[in-house]
Structure 1
Amino acid sequence: MKLIIAGSTGFVGTELVRQALSLPSITSVVALSRRTTPVPSSLAPNADLSKLKSVACEDFGNYSDEVKKELSNADACIWTIALTPSRYRAVPWDEAVRICSGYAVYALETISKLSDANRPFKFVYFSGSSAVRDPAQKPLILGDYLVMRGEAENKVLKYAAGSNGKVEACILKPGLITAPGKTNIVVQALATVGRALIGLPKIDVGDLSSALLSQIVRREGFEKDTLFSEDMERIAKAA
């Protein structure tokens, strides 16, 4: 299996790359980012670095021919590129929409057409547990952002539904993603307070990545088209 991990230098992307290099069923890992993806630390003894291909992309809204060539004939793509709720206000709204939604939709439409038509192309869109697909349910806090993420979810699922089986899409809606032992005490304390105030579920980045990769290589396809933290915890235990 050829797997594209978009946002491969990020917190989640790095762990996905690290684990994917140790899975025999994944024969090629295309690490897509704006800059060169370094080799993750703490690789498992069975990790195969020959599977890793770093692809730097200057514009996620318009791939060059060289980038398209590297992304062709992929079996799956995990899209983690987005702005977090704490960072989206740092850019103009149109730019935030482009990063959180436009890039993902363009990737889905473009890469799926470059894949082998004889098998379904799998696409995972990282969203958030509080994103809403119905604008009428717009939350009071971060409302515009959460509705925008929900609209992106709708676009991804709609594209897959209209693909006549050529595309399988899954929306991942985790809450707080943690890395025990890798974050300092202050950050852990703030995360605990945040969870208590807004009720965010949490999941370890290692468990999340293990569960997601098991869904990617699953022959039966995704368990369902939307997975939450509790789903990923259950799947991780089984994996």
Structure 2
Amino acid sequence: MKYILTGTSGFVGKEILAQALSNPLITSLLILSRRPLPNISSLDPRIKVIVLENFLSYPDALKSEFTGVKAVLWALGGSNTNPTPKGKCDEVEVQYPLTLARALIEASKTSAEHVCHVVKIRFLLISGTFSVRDQEKPLWLLKEGRKARGLAETRLLELAEKSGNFEAVVIKCGYVLKKDNVVPELLVGFSKQAIRVDELAAAMVELAVMGSGSKTIRNAELRSLGKRLLKEQMERDK
């Protein structure tokens, strides 16, 4: 099946790519990027990098590439530690993922005219534990980014309600640590607001491939799933 990944040059996106390439059920991977990624393109024959100058516009020629897409792993945007520049939050955090979602829905409708069975599109949006959907709620810290990500969650979930062929899954991860971070496992678990990047990536790929049954996946569930999957991988590799 075909999958779309964004943000592969970022900390989380790189790890998601590694996990995606280890999954044999992913037979095609479209990577949307602002610039060519020769090092990534050569990693695996399943990869196709699509250079997109404007994440607010998807021409018809590009939409034809979306035929058969099963899921999107959206890892593009800011975070609490690396926020989106002021004044760009709405565009990057809200409009970028929404524009792709609408393009995918439109492409799936075109496909439905020619085939009997159309794959339901699953859109996994990395947001954050501290994102806020209530746009009127007063906030003291990082309010622009937190509200923008909360608005993106709301808009994607609304889009899913209106479309029978689109599913939105909000990934409410906590503070993302390096996989070899020296923070003791006990403290990471005790905080309940942290997750190692390989745990997050493994969980996201599994949810993209197998589905979730839930519209919002929180940090504790992501950690539990990711830890189990990584343990199973280690046992298989022995």
| Superposed displacement of residue 138, structure 1 | 3.3
Whether 1:13 aligns to 2:13 is yes
Distance 1:110 1:167 in 2: 11
Whether 1:49 aligns to 2:48 is no
State the partner residue of 2:133: 133
Give the CA RMSD over aligned residues.
2.3
State the partner residue of 1:45: none
Q: 1:38 to 1:224 in 2, by over 3 A?
A: farther
Whether 1:202 aligns to 2:232 is no
State the partner residue of 2:176: 177
Q: Deviations over 1:59-100 (max 9, x none)?
A: 000123443333333111111111234554634x2x321011
Distance 2:39 2:17 in 1: 9
Secondary structure of the residue aligned to 2:45 is: helix
Alignment of 1:41-120 (within 5 A): 49-88=44-83, 90-91=85-86, 93=87, 95-115=88-108, 117=112, 118-120=118-120
1:222 to 212, 223, 234: 212
Q: Deviations over 1:19-49 (max 9, x none)?
A: 1112111111111111223546xxxxxxx81
| Superposed displacement of residue 137, structure 1 | 3.2
- 1:97 counterpart letter in structure 2: D
Distance 1:89 1:76 in 2: 24
Number of aligned positions between the proteins: 214
Secondary structure of the residue aligned to 1:135 is: coil
State the partner residue of 1:146: 146
Structure 2 unaligned blocks of 5 or more: 113-117, 230-238
Structure 1 runs of 4+ aligned residues shifted over 4 Å read 86-89
Worse-superposed segment, 80-89 or 224-233: 80-89
Secondary structure of the residue aligned to 1:215 is: helix
| Superposed displacement of residue 8, structure 1 | 1.8
Kept in 2: contact 1:9–1:38 (CA 8 A): no
Q: 1:211 to 1:31 in 2, by over 3 A?
A: same
Kept in 1: contact 2:127–2:172 (CA 8 A): yes
Q: 1:233 to 1:73 in 2, by over 3 A?
A: same
Distance 1:38 1:179 in 2: 25
Q: 1:85 to 1:144 in 2, by over 3 A?
A: same
Distance 2:97 2:25 in 1: 25
Identity %: 28
Distance 1:13 1:209 in 2: 8
Distance 1:72 1:226 in 2: 26
- 2:107 counterpart letter in structure 1: L
Worse-superposed segment, 111-120 or 2-11: 111-120
Worse-superposed segment, 149-158 or 227-236: 227-236
Distance 2:145 2:62 in 1: 30
Distance 2:84 2:12 in 1: 22
